[in-house]
Chains A and B, each alone.
Chain A
Amino acid sequence: MTIVLEARGLTKEFKGFFAVNKVDLRVEKGSIHALIGPNGAGKTTCFNLLTKFLQPTSGTIIYDGRDITRMAPAEVARLGLVRSFQISAVFPELSVLQNVRVALQRKRGESYDFWRSETFLRRYDDEARHHIAEVGLSEFVDHRAAELSYGRKRALEIAATLALDPTMLLLDEPMAGMTQADVERISALIRRVAKKCTILMVEHNLSVVANLSDRITVLARGEILAEGDYETVSKSPQVIDAYIGAGHA
């Protein structure tokens, strides 16, 4: 068992308020790990810390044996630790094809060549179409991303993310606001993707991750409440209390 991502004593303080407090997290390579918790538990903050969109107050983050605590978000992404966003993150005015191509373009490093024609980018078209087909968006290749439905935007985002060949994916509430049909499609997609890379996903609902994740970490008020597989976690009295307590609040 190898640990691909590890956080030690991860803490984020906002003016005296500890959004994330001394969180220790170990994500096993090749697993689907879920980070769940009620509203305000610090899931998204924790997520932003791990992807470096926020700088931790204290603690260390080790990714693939490398200390990434002080790295810039783009740097972390280049190491293969790629995130998605809670609100669907696509480039609305670009076509579906261009959305994926812009990710594939990363493979050649930075694109500072402003003098070259964009026909150069056609070499990525086939690969982009392949990724688009994988998420079932082939018929929309030439549509503007803004025209897609919510579920399809999410699928497009995942296609673009996969185009980066990530070694680890961090998904921020991939199922939020989705219809049941979409949830099943994305679940199947995540399972398929997990064969190639490690996944850490943040979710609000325990039920969504029940038969998807290998390991679940429950967060409440910035601290870890319980950890284990679904069976263990769902029966933990603290977890039941936290969810019901939050439901009444």
Chain B
Amino acid sequence: MVPETAGMTRLHLAIFAVLLAFLIILPFFVYPVFAMKVMCFALFAAAFNLLLGFGGLLSFGHAAYFGGASYVAAHAAKVWGLTPELAVLCGTAAAAFLGLVIGSLAIRRQGIYFAMVTLAFAQMVYFLALQLPFTGGEDGLQSVPRGDLFGVFSLQDSIPLYFFVLTITFSGILFLYRIVHSPFGQVLKAIRENEPRAISLGYDVNRYKLMVFVLSATFAGLAGAVKSQVFQLASLTDVHWAMSGEVVLMTLLGGMGTIFGPLAGAAIVVTMQNYLATFGAWVTVIQGVIFVLGVLLFRKGLIGVLAQWLKRPL
């Protein structure tokens, strides 16, 4: 047996510790807003991976929760004047509710039909974001104030904001890790592996699927809500179907069903978009080529392949 400490293998604990140390010193070396963007997407991809990699459900509409939450959080901070943590909470709660509604309808279908239902609902959310009176239409919600954390600590400067974002996203990722390694996660993996068998053991598989769907939507929402506070903006990009595709790409590139894969995938994709921005429209082409190469050479994703070499789950 692999030695464990408080439910986490020592290897995973060590990786998380190194990652945290790295993230603490990171803003003093790179542009903090860029680092925050990576962290938001890492949480988004990790949330998506909970559903795809551990629940075995491919949603093609995760932008709805990510973007939906960013709109609600931006609105809460800008119009209602809520403090950042409350605004983020509002956005996350909205995503959870949206996940419950869409999830309870989508889990009745399987495979490609499930993906199509989630996509259809996400398109409806996109339409709402475009048409509702409070969403700002094509412009989105701009110049959202950064506010004071708990009404006390100003998040105007990038560094305090960075640590606010780091705390939330890192805790979110740790919580997702816990979900995967919980009694619930164990049943979830069993359902992914062999659904009829899980039913024959007496498990109500649809309840588990709905729960993992809602949890995934909630954390995707948390990521979107935080992102709106970082960029002081909620825009149509975040609810667009291309965003749903991007999170699939990040997860597959890094390795679905692994713990660290989605984080690596998110870092790679965001970094690429950032540093290749000067190539303009070529970014998508380069991204496409990398994705094709990734799928051809590393079918299990970068971290998935690494885990295979090391013969350890990562």
Contacts and interface: CB of A to CB of B under 8 A. Distances in A.
Contact of B201 (A77, A92, A113, A119): A77
B193 A106 contact: no
A110 B193 contact: no
Interface stretch (A81-89, A215-223, A233-241): A81-89
B108 to A, nearest CB: 14
In this complex, the member of A94, A98, A102, A114 whose beta carbon has the largest number of chain B beta carbons within 10 angstroms is A114
A93 B193 contact: yes
Contact of A74 (B178, B199, B211): B199
Interface in B184-239: 184-187, 189-190, 193-194, 196-205, 207-208, 211, 215
A103 B201 CA distance: 6
B93 to A, nearest CB: 17
Most buried by A among B183, B189, B193, B199: B183
Contacts of A164: 201-202
B194 A110 contact: no
Contacts of B4: 119
B179 interface: yes
B111 interface: no
B181 interface: yes
A101 interface: yes
Contacts, number: 105
A122 to B, nearest CB: 9
A18 interface: no
Contact of B183 (A89, A113, A160): A113
Contact of A114 (B179, B190, B194): B179
A83 B186 contact: no
Given A77-B202, A117-B6, A94 B182 contact: no
A85 to B, nearest CB: 7
Nearest to B257: A93
B203 A118 contact: no
Interface in A103-124: 103, 105-106, 108, 110-121
A120 B183 contact: yes
A113 B179 CA distance: 8
Interface in B170-186: 178-179, 181-186
A150 interface: no
Contacts of B190: 91, 94, 102
A110 B206 CA distance: 12
B132 interface: no
B295 to A, nearest CB: 21
B193 A94 contact: yes
B188 to A, nearest CB: 9
Interface residues of B, number: 31
A78 B201 CA distance: 8
A105 B183 contact: yes
A142 interface: yes
B183 A116 contact: yes
A63 B181 CA distance: 37
Interface centre among B189, B197, B203, B215 (most CB of A within 10 A): B197
B203 A74 contact: yes
Nearest to A111: B183
A14 B184 CA distance: 37
A90 interface: yes
A118 B183 contact: yes
B186 A121 contact: yes
A51 interface: yes
B186 A111 contact: yes
A5 B211 CA distance: 34
A240 B198 CA distance: 39
Given A89-B196, A112-B207, A114-B211, A102 B186 contact: yes
A95 to B, nearest CB: 9
Contacts of B187: 102, 105, 111
Given A110-B207, A119-B7, A121-B183, A91 B202 contact: no
Contacts of B201: 77, 82, 102-103, 106, 160, 164
Contacts of B198: 102
A53 B193 contact: no
B30 interface: no
B6 A91 contact: no
Contacts of A115: 178-179, 182
A73 interface: yes
A91 to B, nearest CB: 4
Contacts of B200: 51, 73, 77, 82-85, 89
Contact of A77 (B184, B185, B199): B199
20 contacts: A73-B199, A74-B202, A82-B201, A90-B197, A92-B193, A93-B189, A94-B193, A102-B186, A103-B201, A111-B184, A112-B207, A112-B211, A114-B178, A114-B179, A115-B179, A116-B182, A117-B182, A118-B7, A118-B185, A119-B4
Interface of A: 51, 53, 73-74, 77-78, 82-85, 89-94, 98, 101-103, 105-106, 108, 110-121, 142, 160, 164
